[in-house]
Chains A and B, each alone.
Chain A
């Protein structure tokens, strides 16, 4: 079956603009998590969506938002882009909520979207 698909793969934006990234999870997976990866900060958790609801959020400003559709596809939006937002944005899909207290869930990652802010 198809893996996690992220579009676009590469994006160049100007400071102050906004951007929307898309993530299509593996068929049947209901959880989509988003991460930001930079050389300085490493891989950091942004938020997780499950059944169209944001279930967990990392420590990022309100400029970072997301949503999930009924088909589990998710979009991430960053408004008023800053140079420091340049990063590889990864999404991961899993069957169950990754935050489930009863155990951990295997997650599958997409190839990522490389965002460059100039």
Chain B
């Protein structure tokens, strides 16, 4: 079963609109990463959240970690075509047994229409 589930799988928004991507873990989250990937290329680190309730922002992207819900959300405000890509959440320690075995969600493909 998928340990990190992302929703939605894909998203098409009009430029200027806000959007939210969710990442839900089936196990306790000790921390979470968000990455962005252009098709066929490497991952670009966006943010790392380590503590429950933590919220980080970078330009128009904000990510939050809700430990109780075992969930993280990534919110983009006033989306632009440059935000288009695949957003992946990842964790490298979902429980002590799997420590070090990095797990990623399946990704959310974002398309921003000009």
Give me the interface of A with B, judged by CB distance under 8 Å. 4, 6, 33, 35, 42-45, 48, 55-58, 88, 90, 92, 97-99, 101, 103-112, 114
Determine if B93 and A99 form an interchain contact, defined as CB atoms under 8 angstroms apart: yes
In the bound complex, how far is the Cα of B13 from the Cα of A40, in angstroms?
25
- Of the candidate stretches B14-22, B40-48, B69-77, the one touching chain A is B40-48
Determine if A104 and B31 form an interchain contact, defined as CB atoms under 8 angstroms apart: yes
- Given contacts A55-B100, A114-B40, whether A103 and B31 have CB atoms under 8 Å apart is yes
- Measured as residues with beta carbon below 8 angstroms from the partner, the interface class of chain B is 20 to 34
Determine if A107 and B45 form an interchain contact, defined as CB atoms under 8 angstroms apart: yes
The DSSP consensus for interface residues of chain A is strand
Determine if A42 and B107 form an interchain contact, defined as CB atoms under 8 angstroms apart: yes
Q: Interface code B26-57, partner A: CB below 8 Å = 1, 0 otherwise?
A: 00001101010000111111001010000000
| Residue B67 interfacial (CB < 8 Å) | no
- Given contacts A98-B102, A103-B31, whether A112 and B40 have CB atoms under 8 Å apart is yes
In the bound complex, how far is the Cα of B43 from the Cα of A109, in angstroms?
5
- B106 contacts which chain A residues (CB < 8 A)? 42
- B30 contacts which chain A residues (CB < 8 A)? 104
